[in-house]
């Protein structure tokens, strides 16, 4: 099976590639496809916008993931605005600085948060396959670890034996991560030939 990746984020592409079984050939998003405006109300809506745009542009099944970091002390922010928390073209580092500043006075026990992913395949016949994944954790007071991407260095998963995602390689992270869970659930819904 051939799936076109809808993500324009190379860090996400590498994680998704590592999660798919050998029966699936993941093709990078063609570079000539323009940016897709992610202006839906929720993760599912944005995943759908991305996957459908790439499916329509290529005529092939396309896979998208939309992910948000929900911080309880900020009433669920940055959520669907995670990529642009510190502004339209914010870097990972600028987003982290803004988030840590927003949580300056919040004590450890109240720094609870979760990553949530919706993964979606848009098929050329108009149908969809959808799956969800969540990982619970806490926001650190300072970044720890240089692996991963995005907010990984400040996210301490409850199941991570004391390591942040920034201290885990892709395999360790994917075992418990939002994206790992969503992609495994998505794959379980697909039917492969012998």
Our finding on whether 67 is near ligand ITT (CB under 6 A) is yes
Minimum CB separation of residue 8 from ligand ITT in Å reads 4
Our finding on whether 66 is near ligand ITT (CB under 6 A) is yes
- Residue 78 is encoded by which pair of tokens? 């940055």
3-state secondary structure the chain: CEEEECCCCHHHHHHHHHHCCCCCEEECCCCCCCCCCCCCCCHHHHHHHHHHHHHHHHCCCEEEEEEEEEEHHHCCCEECCHHHCCCCCCCHHHHHHHHHHHCCCCCHHHCEEEEEEEEEEECCCCCEEEEEEEEEEEECCCCCCCCCCCCHHHEEECCCCCCCHHHCCHHHHHHHCHHHHHHHHHHHCCCCCC
Among 61, 133, 137, 150, binds ligand ITT (CB under 6 A): 150
Among 3, 4, 7, 182, binds ligand ITT (CB under 6 A): 7
Our finding on whether 179 is near ligand ITT (CB under 6 A) is yes
CA distance 128 to 123: 6
Our finding on whether 83 is near ligand ITT (CB under 6 A) is yes
Binding region for ligand ITT (CB under 6 A) out of 17-25, 99-107, 142-150, 181-189: 142-150
Of the candidates 32, 66, 110, 152, the residue annotated as catalytic is 66
Going by C-alpha positions, the residue among 175, 193, 73 that lies closest to residue 133 is 175
Active site residue 110: no
Specify the residue for token string 């492969």: 192
Our finding on whether 9 is near ligand ITT (CB under 6 A) is yes
- Cβ proximity to ligand ITT: between 65 and 167 the closer is 65
Binding region for ligand ITT (CB under 6 A) out of 8-16, 19-27, 51-59, 105-113: 8-16
Our finding on whether 170 is near ligand ITT (CB under 6 A) is no
Minimum CB separation of residue 194 from ligand ITT in Å reads 32
Q: Which residues would be at the binding site for ligand ITT (CB under 6 A)?
A: 7-9, 12, 50, 65-67, 82-83, 92, 95, 148-152, 165, 179
Q: Which residues are catalytic?
A: 66
């Amino acid at each position: 099976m051939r799936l076109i990746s809808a993500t324009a984020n190379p860090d996400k592409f590498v994680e998704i590639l590592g999660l798919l079984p050998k029966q699936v050939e993941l093709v990078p998003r063609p570079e000539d496809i323009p940016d897709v405006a992610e202006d839906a109300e929720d993760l599912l809506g944005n995943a759908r916008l991305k996957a459908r745009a790439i499916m329509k542009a290529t005529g092939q099944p396309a896979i998208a993931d939309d992910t948000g970091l929900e911080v309880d002390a900020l009433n669920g922010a940055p959520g669907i605005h995670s990529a642009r928390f510190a502004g339209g073209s914010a870097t990972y580092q600028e987003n982290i600085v803004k988030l840590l500043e927003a949580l300056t006075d919040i004590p450890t026990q109240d720094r609870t948060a979760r990553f949530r992913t919706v993964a979606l395949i848009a098929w050329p016949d108009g149908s969809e396959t959808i799956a969800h994944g969540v990982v619970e954790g806490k926001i650190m007071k300072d970044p720890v670890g240089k692996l991963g991407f995005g907010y990984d260095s400040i996210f301490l998963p409850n199941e991570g034996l004391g390591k942040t995602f920034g201290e885990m390689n892709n395999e360790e992270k994917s075992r418990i991560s939002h994206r790992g869970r969503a992609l495994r659930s998505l794959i379980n819904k697909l039917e492969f030939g012998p």
